[in-house]
Amino acid sequence: MTLLELDDVTVRYGEAVAVDGVSLTVAPRERVALIGPNGAGKTSLLNAACGVIRPALGRVRIEADDVTGATPGAIVRRGVSQVPEGRHVFTTLPVEANLLLGAYGRVFRLEIVSSTLRYLRSRRDVRDQLDRIYDLLPKLRELRERPAGRTSGGEQQMVAIGRALMARPRLLAIDELSLGLAPMLVQSLAEFLVRLNEEEGVAILLVDQSASLAFSLCERAYVLETGRVALEGPSKDLVGRAEVRSAYLGGSPGAPS
Amino acid sequence: MTTFFQLVVVGISTGSVFAIVGMSLVLVYRATGIVNFAQGVFAVVGGLVTYSLSQHMSLVLAGLLAVLVTAIVATGVAVVAVGIRGRTTHLASLIITVGIAILAEAVLLAAFGEVPRSYSAISDRAWNVGGVLVQPQYAALALVALLAAFGLTLFLRRTIVGQALVASADSPRAAELIGLNLRSIAVIAFALAGALTAVGGVLLAPTVPVSYSSGLTITINGFAAAVFGGLVSIRLALLGGYVLGVVEQLVVGYVDPQYNLIIALVVMLVLIGWRSRGELAV
């Protein structure tokens, strides 16, 4: 069964069509990339999957259940968490509070008293999960007391990923992992994601402008252009395609592969 | 000299109310990014509802019920101010709260009449401290302000609910993405702040009678206190409230009661300017 399925999804902002009938699937434990130029509709598609925007047409399903139009919180509870573009850590709060809020958000419903009781009852689970994340990303343990706004870009990306993982997702959707980060840092984050995927079984949906990163990290990829899927398939097949090379990998058209 | 200290004592008591309203504004602002210009109305609702209910029951029970009623009113204000879908911009929300404050005066006038209301204080005796009279009511106001400052600081820093409030204004987008419901957060912030301000109003009315139109002055004073702390610092809002209250009373005692608010606000403006310059220099 597919974990996440976008079925013929269209996203509009007023008259402008950002995503035009895109279908995409992610299987459990799979690593899938979504690449394409600026304005291709990658973030809009991700936001439609995560309940941030309601698609104008098409359905979103998680494990075959229709979740079209569900709130972001409902999507998180179904096991899909997003790491947003630009990270958006809670700058004034300590790193550890950022992480704990990831667990609180998962049990949060409309009503705050029962939400908080639910959180407090799961306190032990939350602690265990926090320890696991500190083991996976030891840097965060060192920084636990520091306001997240006073950490480096790479550390903030770790905080954002850790915060999403606190909700124990089965699919982690990451918008622009590499944006503004040094290549070495991106490399170690990529290795971390592969380990997370292989050891913990968390599926990954990676949106990135860097096609080389996306292809090396993910088994399968979708290439989005002006709101439509231009190409899709196993990464190793796409890497060889001339049009992909010219558009995203910096090669010249017609160059031998 | 006795006059001076007497003015300071009264100033700290009224300043405690400004501090309470100021800290309430800080709480709402830190959770939602909204400046609630109807905040002072909650003090008036607290005082007037206490007065009305006290005709039928004990004053303590009336006061407690008034705080509860105000919290419910504040919940309604939150829903209107942030919108059903929680997507109203901060500026629009601010203007909506200004509208609510104006509307509230009309509603309060219709419901409670135009006579300023007061009721008996905690005790009619006063402590004589070296010639300076300290009413227990003053002490109660100061105590509530201090406890509120202490409690709110702990709440925002150390509890998951407080941190969720701070997170929601810090990055609304991320807060929503991790599953927090921004409208619920706004409702909680407004309700808590409304209840706190109502406590201030309930305790204020015995010393300064409140009427339907008292809200604006209370809001302005509370806002000045809150701005003293850059709208984000609970402790500085507390200090700002005290400074404002004391300066106003000194003006009343030594200059002219007519100008107390204006002069106090000018002093606050100067202090805020001086404080922010100091901050930049660091």
B179 → closest Cβ in A84, A90, A108? A108
> What CATH number labels B2-117+137-279?
1.10.3470
Q: Is B123 on the interface with A (CB under 8 A)?
A: no
Three-state DSSP class for residue A175? strand
In chain A, residues 185-204 whose CB comes closer than 8 Å to chain B = none
- Predicted-complex ipTM score: 0.89
Does the pLDDT of residue B45 top 70, yes or no? yes
Buried b (16+ CB within 10 A) or exposed e, B181-202: bbbbbbbbbbbbbbbbbbbbbb
pLDDT tens for A67-94 read: 999 999 999 999 999 999 988 999 999 9
What integer best gives the mean pLDDT of chain B? 91
Supply the pLDDT for residue A111: 84
B178 → closest Cβ in A76, A97, A111? A76
Q: Which of A52, A91, A115 to mutate to test the interface with B (most CBs of B within 10 A)?
A: A115
Q: Is A248 on the interface with B (CB under 8 A)?
A: no
Which CA distances in Å does B185 have to A187, A216, B42, B156, B165?
A: 38, 41, 19, 13, 6
A52 → closest Cβ in B164, B167, B177? B177
Three-state DSSP class for residue B136? helix
Does the pLDDT of residue A247 top 80, yes or no? no
Contacts of A191 (CB under 8 A, 6+ apart): none
pTM of the model: 0.89
How crowded is residue B231: how many other Cβ atoms within 10 Å of its Cβ? Answer: 18
Enumerate the residues of chain B whose CB falls inside 8 A of the CB of residue A76: 177-179
Supply the pLDDT for residue A251: 46
Q: Is A109 on the interface with B (CB under 8 A)?
A: yes
Number of A/B CB contacts below 8 angstroms equals 92
Tell me how close the Cα of A184 comes to any Cα of chain B, in angstroms.
Answer: 26
Supply the pLDDT for residue A242: 64
Per-residue pLDDT, averaged over A89-112, amounts to: 94
Contact A108 B174 (CB under 8 A): no
Supply the pLDDT for residue B272: 78
Whole-number percent of chain A with pLDDT over 70? 94
Model confidence at A249, pLDDT cuts 50, 70, 90, reads low
Q: Which of A77, A87, A89, A90 to mutate to test the interface with B (most CBs of B within 10 A)?
A: A90
**Closest Cα to residue B224, out of B236, B212, B208?**
B236
Q: In A143-227, where do the E strands start and end? A: 171-175, 203-208, 220-225
pLDDT tens for A155-206 read: 999 999 999 999 999 999 999 999 889 999 999 999 999 999 999 999 999 9
Supply the pLDDT for residue B112: 94
Q: Which of A13, A67, A101, A117 to mutate to test the interface with B (most CBs of B within 10 A)?
A: A101
Does the pLDDT of residue B261 top 90, yes or no? no
Among B110-114, B156-160, B268-272, the minimum mean pLDDT is found in B268-272
How crowded is residue B1: how many other Cβ atoms within 10 Å of its Cβ? Answer: 8
Contact A92 B188 (CB under 8 A): no
Per-residue pLDDT, averaged over A30-58, amounts to: 93
Per-residue pLDDT, averaged over B136-161, amounts to: 95
Supply the pLDDT for residue A255: 40
More confident: B53 or A110: B53
Q: What H or E segment, with its residue span, contains residue B244? A: helix B234-254
Q: Is B163 on the interface with A (CB under 8 A)?
A: yes
In degrees and rounded to multiples of 5, residue B245 shows phi and psi of: -60, -45
Per-residue pLDDT, averaged over A2-7, amounts to: 96
Supply the pLDDT for residue A257: 39
Enumerate the residues of chain A whose CB falls inside 8 A of the CB of residue B184: 108, 110-112
Supply the pLDDT for residue B12: 94
The residue whose two tokens read 């987008």 is: B173
Supply the pLDDT for residue B263: 84
Does the pLDDT of residue A123 top 80, yes or no? yes
Q: Is A101 on the interface with B (CB under 8 A)?
A: yes
Enumerate the residues of chain B whose CB falls inside 8 A of the CB of residue A172: none
Domain map (residue ranges) of chain B: 2-117+137-279
Contact A167 B166 (CB under 8 A): no
Does the pLDDT of residue B36 top 80, yes or no? yes
Does the pLDDT of residue B139 top 80, yes or no? yes
Reading the block at residue A27, the tokens are 């299987």
Tell me how close the Cα of B195 comes to any Cα of chain A, in angstroms.
Answer: 17
Give burial (CB, 10 Å; 0-12/13-18/19+) of B230: middle
Reading the block at residue B201, the tokens are 């109003």
Does the pLDDT of residue B279 top 60, yes or no? no
Per-residue pLDDT, averaged over A13-31, amounts to: 95
Supply the pLDDT for residue A248: 67
In degrees and rounded to multiples of 5, residue B132 shows phi and psi of: -90, 130
Q: Is A76 on the interface with B (CB under 8 A)?
A: yes
Tell me how close the Cα of B183 comes to any Cα of chain A, in angstroms.
Answer: 8
Per-residue pLDDT, averaged over B181-188, amounts to: 92
Contact A104 B180 (CB under 8 A): yes
Per-residue pLDDT, averaged over B231-238, amounts to: 93
Whole-number percent of chain A with pLDDT over 90? 77
Three-state DSSP class for residue A232? strand
Per-residue pLDDT, averaged over A30-35, amounts to: 95
| Residue of chain B minimizing CA distance to A51 | B177
Contact A112 B166 (CB under 8 A): no
In angstroms, the CA A99 to CA A161 distance is 9
Model confidence at B124, pLDDT cuts 50, 70, 90, reads confident
Does the pLDDT of residue B280 top 80, yes or no? no
Per-residue pLDDT, averaged over A113-119, amounts to: 91
Per-residue pLDDT, averaged over B42-51, amounts to: 97
Q: Is B188 on the interface with A (CB under 8 A)?
A: yes
Contact A112 B175 (CB under 8 A): no
More confident: B255 or A247: B255
In degrees and rounded to multiples of 5, residue A93 shows phi and psi of: -95, 150
